[in-house]
Structures are given as structure tokens and as C-alpha cells.
Structure 1
Amino acid sequence: MIRQVIVMLAAVMTCSACIAQEDSAVFGPPTATDTLVVRSTTDINVFAPVMQDFLATRPNMAIAYEQWGSNDLAALSARHCASGADSADLIISSAADLQVQLVNDGCAIAYKSPATEALPTSRNWRNEIFGITEEPAVLIYNTELVAPDEVPLSRFDLIDLLRPADSRFVGRVATYDIEASGLGYLFAFMDSLQANTFGRLLEAFGRSGAVATCCSAELIDAVADGRYLIAYNVLGSYALARADKDARIGVRAPSDYTLVLSRTALIPKHSNNVGAAGAFIDFLLSGAGQTALGQARLVVKIGGADGSDFDLPGGGPSSLRPIALSPILLAGLDQHKRKIFLSQWRQNLRQK
């Protein structure tokens, strides 16, 4: 079984017609008789301990894990939905809007369990897609190059930092390239719905030469190296995981409002191992699974001013804006609206 999975992964990686896969690995014993194929946007090194905890009591199971970019994963999943071939057993993605689109297009199997039914409605849509994590969109900064009194606590502070023509932050602020990053697009689109600061923020980005670049790892690396002083809307789970090891990275949840993403899981309609996929979802939503996700920084607690007993300081519970799993997310994927939104974005941010 493991050999068959490895051959399948190799075929996906070498096929010239396939979309590019980022990485892959197999977890579990070589004698496993049951294999769960998971395709996900989550970095392997981040998610590996969670999978190992799940497999600890399942000696006959293995997980063949494939890491993808969010846009490529959505495109691949849609293609496999249409063809019925080479389907994963479980798809986990940070691009909740693209996952909702797959569900809306009839590409997921309904699944019910006590764990899924206990979820709030914002994290369970049609019993076909489930929010398994809580991850804020945060501001990060270089602690060695940004003075404590310069750290922006809100979007208003960030706009003020960029307002002076001679600001030392000109050309030193970055965010996601929302054309390349499905997660970046989702955060930017939700920003446009949440607050009247969005237009002012875009204007400030344009005036100050803010940079759009590809992905979480690149943004965090560039801030740590001092190429950028601040990065906006970075996924908090990855930022905190890096900050745990690198004192140069400071993390702050914006106090005006903080978007909170739930990384989503769905069982594709052509899954060959629905039982194992459902068992993994139940584990991820269980106390043990949430603890494992918290240890991986994929469940993040946001505190008040003092930040006590929380993973990072911010505006507290009243400032949280969860991104609900609902058809509202499809609005940002409408091709006409997307074209206008991207055009507005390009006018204000330079691509790296």
C-alpha cells in the first residue's frame, strides 16, 4: 500500500500536465494496511506532529501527505472532482473561500459526527466543510529595527506610520501578493468588507511603495532579515511559530479588528477512504487534536492589553472577526468582482 502511494505521489510530481506540488511525505509504519491520502496547504514540518499524534494509536494506518499552494490545490481538486481520478481522501486548506467553492460545486461528501455537530455554524457549512483551527491575521515587525513606540497596534497606526513623505518605512512594508496567494486574496477581500480603513490603507501602501510578495515564509524571512520592517496580514500561526525560535520577529494582533481564519477540511466526493478521513477530522476537532494543533501554533489565543494567558497581545475577544464558512466567501471569487479588485490592488502595490 505504501509503495503504491509513493508511486502515485511520484507520478503527480513528474507529470508535465500536473500543477506543481511543493512537498510530500509518508507518515506511519511501512507495514500499514490502511493509507489516508491528505492534500493540504499546511507546511509539512508544522503539521507532522499533529499527524503523528493521530497515528500513535493506529498502528495499521499511514498518512500520505502532499503539501500544495492554495491556488494550485484548489485547481487540482476541482479537476479531480470533474474527472473522478487521483482524488485525495481529505483536503485541508487555509484558503477557505476556495474550499467553499469546491463544496458549492458539489465536490465534497457530507460527514456528520458528534464532533462536527458541536462546531459553531461559522465553522460548519452543510456538514461538508469544517473549520479545524483558529488563526489570526497579524502584523509582524523586526524587533531589532522597529522601536517599541513605533510598533503599529492597529491599521490606523500603520497608516500614520506611512503618512509622512520622509517616513523611514517607505518601501519597507510588505504583504501577500494576492494574485499568487489564495490566503492573501482572502484576507484582503475580507478587509475590504470589514472596515472603511481599507481604502485608506491601500492608498497608504501605494504612496509609500509597499511591496506584495508571495507567501508566509518569504514575508517572515524578509522581516527577520530586515529587508522589510513590517509585514501586514501575515498568518499568525506561522508568525508565532517563527517568533518562538527567532527573537527578531514580533507579532501583534491589530486592535481595531482581527480577522480569524479557520483552516478548513473537506472530504472530496471521490475519496477512497472516507472512514479514515472522517476519523482524522474527528481527531482534529477533539480535545487531543485541538491541543496538538495549539502546540503547532494552529490554534491561537488572542489576549487583551496585558496579553496574559494568551499566545499574543491584541484587542481581545471583542475585536475578533471570524471568517465564517458561508456563500458570502463566493462573492470574492466572482470573476468580474475579482478582476476589479485585483486591478485596484495592482494600482497601489508593487510586485516583488
Structure 2
Amino acid sequence: MTWLRSVIAAVLLLPQAVMGQEATARFGNGATEFLLRSTTDIAIIRPVIDRFVALNPDLTIAYEQWGSNDLFAVSRAECTGDGVAADAVFSSAVQQLVWMVNAACAHPYRSSATLALPRTRRWRDELWGITTEPAVIVYNKNLLADDQVPRSRFALLDALRSNPEFYRDRIATYDIASSGLGYLFAYADSLEASTFGALLEGFARVDAVATCCSSEIIEAVADGRFLIAYNVLGSYAANITRPEVGMVLPQDYTLFLSRGLMIPRGARHKAAATALLDFLLSAEAQDLLRQAGLVMGTDTAEADLTASARRFIPLSPSLLVSLDANRSGFLLRYWDDTFAGSTGP
């Protein structure tokens, strides 16, 4: 398929056109303009950036919100001298940031705050995990009785097998072709041989929908368009104000993501970037991030997770395997076969 070839080109680092920002905002009115490119929704991150500029009145933050694949493309281009580099890049698609670091596109930094991070959230003193966010199952409380809510992948599989017509066209997840985060979660799931293949077969059986993006998927669940959304980032579910939406951390295993921050090698304001990094890792900022739903504990959403069920996605070279040509090509083709003909909300 033409679209699949385009997706593989993006994932495998071939040149592609950049679609541009999803939204922009400005914070503060200082003399120094600091460019922050991020996949995090402006509405969610606003209190954190407001506090940072209040502490640094000499700065104006030019905040650009991007889709993860487009952010990856523009950051790669800037690493090779095509365009103006951001002063910091903050992305949920951390496999793409690992690639950037591996390609010598990052500026190193070390402080007491960064050294206090666990090894799974710090790589080569050039990439740091800021948040703690689970991949969750979201459901409509009004349309599913409590005993119908799947609290594990095995329960979800049983539900799809026992009543496929009830769930037909009413299960959603990320389109991994357009979402770097969705691709990362799908890749992590693919390492779980016991459920991944069966889950995709179940999705195909009920004509599940692969679509974009977190906020839109959750709103569609709230509206009743979907009964269940799978592998949605918990921070977005925590921020929605719709009482119809419930959230489950799967008890067989729950993936936990730390959004990564990287300071590009070509950043113009590296001192300000390191100040932002240290601030984001401070107790004050972590509390603000917690209030914003970007730092979530394992007790969220009635979860009773054992230590072995907590799967933290590490910032490490192991994520480079997800971008291997053969691995990504197979996963994208498999996904395309599963969701052939699906449409968004």
C-alpha cells in the first residue's frame, strides 16, 4: 500500500516531508526566546511551563506541539544542519529520541538531579525520562457493566471471543502508522508472545479501529462511539473531564512510559535547556506534573499490580531494535492486515 510505504519510510529514517506543528503557544515575555518542541498537549503542560517562566523571567518559551513522527523528522533534519534546532525536544516516542542520541544529535549534561534518576530513565547523560505514565484500557462506564470491564488482556480477549457482535467497530487503539507512541506500545506488546498475536486476531474479528490520537480516542469513548480503547496513554485519560470514562491498568502487565527530554546538539540556549531539565526533575515540577496527570503511580485506577506486572520502557539502545527495517516492516504489515478498512471516530 502507498500509505504503508510512506510509514515505513518515516519509521526507518528515510527523508519525508514535515507536516508541521499541531499547535503553538508562547509563555513569558523575556528577552531570550527559547524554542521547545514537544508532543505533549499544551493544555496539559501549561501549568508546568508557566511556573518555569515565572522562575526565569528572562525567557520567553516558544512552545510547539507536534505529532511524534513529524517531530522526529524535523529533529533529524536539524541535526544535519537543515533548519534551526530546538533548544529542547520533549517526546513520548522515546525510541525516536534514542535514535537521535545514537546519531550524535544530542548535547550531554550531568547534574545531581539527572544522576538521581534510575538507570532506566537516563542514557549517556544525553536523554532523560521526565514523566511516569501507564498505557491503560479506557472504557465507557455507562455502556459497560462493572463485570464487563476487562482488567487484563486475557479478559479482553475472552470478551471479544464471547460476544463479537457487541464489540464490533467499538474497540479502538492508536494507528501505529501515524503515531510514534502507538508504534512504541505495539512494539512493546509484540515482545509479549503469549497475548500479542491473539489480541490482534481478536481485534480483526470485531473490526477494531486504529485511529489518532489520544484525546480524540478518549472523547469517542466518552461519547459512546467506542466501548473500549486499548493502550491509551493514562495521562490523557486522567485529564479528561468526562465522568463517563473509566480507566484500567491491565493486571497481566502494564507498560509505563517516561517521556524523554533531549537537548539538541545545535541548541542555541543550552544553559536555559539544562535549567529546564533540572526544573522538570525537581520536587516542585514533579508535583505539578503529578497534578497534570503526567506522573501517575501504580495505584491509579484501582490497579493491584504486582512488581512483575510493572513493565517500564527503558531509555536504552534496546529501543533501536524497534526501528530495525525488518522488525518494523513486519509489525506495520501485520497491523495493516489487522485493521484493514478501519476508520476513525
- Tell whether the structures are fold-level matches, with TM greater than 0.5: yes
Give the drift of 1:334. 1.0
Quick check: 1:300 aligned with 2:296?
yes
- C-alpha separation in 1, matches of 2:52 and 2:108: 22
Equivalent residue in structure 1 for 2:185, among 146, 162, 187: 187
Aligned pairs (5 A) from 1:16-35: 18-29=18-29, 32-35=30-33
Asked whether the 8 Å contact 2:138–2:247 carries over to 1, the reply is yes
Asked whether the 8 Å contact 2:134–2:235 carries over to 1, the reply is yes
Secondary structure of residue in 1 paired with 2:239: helix
* Larger mean Cα displacement after TM superposition, 173-182 or 156-165: 156-165
Quick check: 1:316 aligned with 2:305?
yes
- C-alpha separation in 2, matches of 1:317 and 1:277: 37
1:155-179 Cα shifts (integer Å, max 9, x gaps): 0000001003554112211100000
1:10-54 Cα shifts (integer Å, max 9, x gaps): xxxxxxx7532111111002xx12222100000011111100111
1:195-234 Cα shifts (integer Å, max 9, x gaps): 4111111111111111100110111111011111000000
Asked whether the 8 Å contact 1:302–1:317 carries over to 2, the reply is no
Equivalent residue in structure 1 for 2:118, among 120, 126, 136: 120
Quick check: 1:265 aligned with 2:261?
yes
Give the drift of 1:312. 2.1
Residues 60/104 of structure 1: CA separation in 2 closer, same or farther (3 Å cut): same
- Residue equivalent to 1:38: 36
TM-score with structure 1 length normalisation?
0.90
- C-alpha separation in 2, matches of 1:60 and 1:107: 27
Aligned pairs (5 A) from 1:66-81: 66-81=64-79
Asked whether the 8 Å contact 2:164–2:206 carries over to 1, the reply is no
Equivalent residue in structure 1 for 2:280, among 273, 279, 284: 284
Identical-residue share of aligned pairs (%): 50
Asked whether the 8 Å contact 1:256–1:315 carries over to 2, the reply is no
Q: Mind listing any 5+ residue stretches in structure 2 that lack a counterpart?
A: 1-16
- C-alpha separation in 2, matches of 1:196 and 1:238: 28
Secondary structure of residue in 1 paired with 2:166: coil
Residues 324/205 of structure 1: CA separation in 2 closer, same or farther (3 Å cut): same
- C-alpha separation in 2, matches of 1:105 and 1:196: 34
Equivalent residue in structure 1 for 2:91, among 86, 90, 93: 93
- C-alpha separation in 1, matches of 2:63 and 2:205: 43
- C-alpha separation in 1, matches of 2:293 and 2:195: 29
Give the aligned residue type for 2:338. Answer: N
Quick check: 1:325 aligned with 2:310?
no
Q: Mind listing any 5+ residue stretches in structure 1 that lack a counterpart?
A: 1-16, 304-310
- C-alpha separation in 2, matches of 1:317 and 1:247: 28
- Residue equivalent to 1:145: 143
Give the drift of 1:328. 1.0
RMSD: 1.2
Secondary structure of residue in 2 paired with 1:86: coil
Asked whether the 8 Å contact 1:19–1:76 carries over to 2, the reply is no
Asked whether the 8 Å contact 2:18–2:73 carries over to 1, the reply is no
Residues 145/23 of structure 1: CA separation in 2 closer, same or farther (3 Å cut): same
Which consecutive segments of 4 or more residues in structure 1 shift more than 3 A? none
- C-alpha separation in 1, matches of 2:311 and 2:278: 25
Give the aligned residue type for 2:81. Answer: S
Secondary structure of residue in 2 paired with 1:97: helix
Equivalent residue in structure 2 for 1:175, among 164, 173, 176: 173
Give the aligned residue type for 1:144. Answer: N
Give the aligned residue type for 2:321. Answer: A
- Residue equivalent to 1:9: none
Give the aligned residue type for 2:284. Answer: A
- Residue equivalent to 1:307: none
1:76-122 Cα shifts (integer Å, max 9, x gaps): 00000001631100000000101111111111011111100110010
Give the drift of 1:235. 0.3
- Residue equivalent to 1:4: none
Give the aligned residue type for 1:279. Answer: A
- Residue equivalent to 1:342: 332
Give the aligned residue type for 2:234. Answer: G
- Residue equivalent to 1:156: 154
- Residue equivalent to 1:12: none
Secondary structure of residue in 1 paired with 2:167: coil
Asked whether the 8 Å contact 1:27–1:63 carries over to 2, the reply is yes
Equivalent residue in structure 2 for 1:196, among 189, 194, 197: 194
Instruction: Indicate the structure whose relative CO is greater, using CA pairs within 8 Å and at least 6 residues apart.
Output: 2
Secondary structure of residue in 2 paired with 1:194: coil
